[in-house]
């Protein structure tokens, strides 16, 4: 059964959206990215959400400092944040598991509800996946595709960040296809190229099989 969701403001759009949106943010300007995410988090605090940030390029302490500098009240609200190194959160056994990470999302949302929060939102920096022997592309695509279904019952509003200067353009295109919303120049827009996850995975696996035939 699909959980009834509430309308929330994401801080990156004029209109409210249903919570539990699966958003991709492909970026090149790191300063713009941080400002956009600060807006997303400030709005989450205003709406009594629990906040998750999986950091990649800097430490959790450095991320807290940067959020403070961007106007996020981490001093007073630090108990509302969970900040973890992305590679540790996603790969506790050194290798990425889609099943494990989908469970993390569901449990995090349920924990926020049990603690009396109105909802939850999370951001994940994805560059950890580029490290050798850390993740297989198909596993990552399966996770991103299936996350759309998990969020229907555990509506954690989610932003997946991909650095366009580091990821292969073909990978970026695949990732765009399985996110219904995207952030473009700091604004949230609907993705006209979105494909239903089951259809995408069927097409991807079929193409991959032909390529290796």
Q: pLDDT at position 213, please?
A: 46
Which residue intervals of 21-156 are DSSP H helices?
30-46, 60-69, 74-77, 86-90, 98-114, 137-153
> How many C-beta atoms surround the C-beta of residue 59 within 10 A?
11
Q: Where are the domains of the chain?
A: 19-211
Conformation bin of residue 20: beta by default, left when phi > 0, alpha when psi is -120 to 50: left
Nearest to 197 by CA among 98, 103, 128: 98
Q: pLDDT at position 106, please?
A: 94
Q: Quick one: how far is CA 209 from the chain centroid?
A: 29
> How many C-beta atoms surround the C-beta of residue 160 within 10 A?
23
Return the residue matching tokens 């999302």: 105
The fourth-level CATH superfamily of domain 19-211 is P-loop containing nucleotide triphosphate hydrolases (3.40.50.300)
Q: CA separation (Å) from 213 to 206, 208, 209, 210?
A: 11, 9, 6, 5
pLDDT in tens, the chain (213 residues): 455 679 999 998 888 999 999 999 999 998 888 899 899 999 999 999 999 988 776 677 787 888 888 888 888 888 899 887 755 556 666 678 888 889 989 999 999 999 999 999 999 888 888 877 777 888 889 999 999 999 999 999 999 999 999 999 999 999 999 999 999 888 899 999 999 999 999 988 887 765 544
pTM of the model: 0.89
């Amino acid at each position: 059964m699909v959980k009834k969701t509430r309308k929330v403001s994401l801080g990156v759009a004029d209109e409210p959206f249903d919570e539990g949106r699966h958003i991709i943010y492909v970026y090149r300007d790191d300063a713009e990215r941080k400002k956009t995410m600060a807006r997303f988090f400030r709005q989450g605090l205003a709406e009594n959400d629990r906040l998750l940030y999986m950091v990649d390029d800097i430490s959790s302490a450095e991320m807290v400092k940067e959020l403070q500098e961007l106007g996020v009240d981490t001093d007073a609200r630090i108990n509302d944040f969970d900040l973890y190194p992305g590679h540790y959160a996603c790969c506790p056994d050194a290798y990425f598991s889609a099943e494990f990470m989908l469970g993390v999302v569901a449990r995090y949302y349920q924990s926020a509800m049990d603690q009396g929060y109105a909802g939850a939102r999370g951001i994940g920096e994805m560059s950890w996946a580029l490290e050798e022997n850390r993740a297989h592309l198909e596993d990552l695509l399966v996770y991103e595709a299936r996350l759309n279904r998990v969020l229907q019952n555990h509506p954690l509003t989610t932003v997946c960040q991909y650095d366009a200067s580091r990821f292969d353009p073909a990978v970026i295109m695949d990732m765009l296809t399985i996110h219904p919303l995207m952030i473009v120049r700091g604004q949230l827009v609907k993705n006209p190229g979105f494909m239903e996850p089951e259809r995408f995975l069927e097409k991807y696996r079929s193409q991959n099989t032909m390529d290796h035939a």
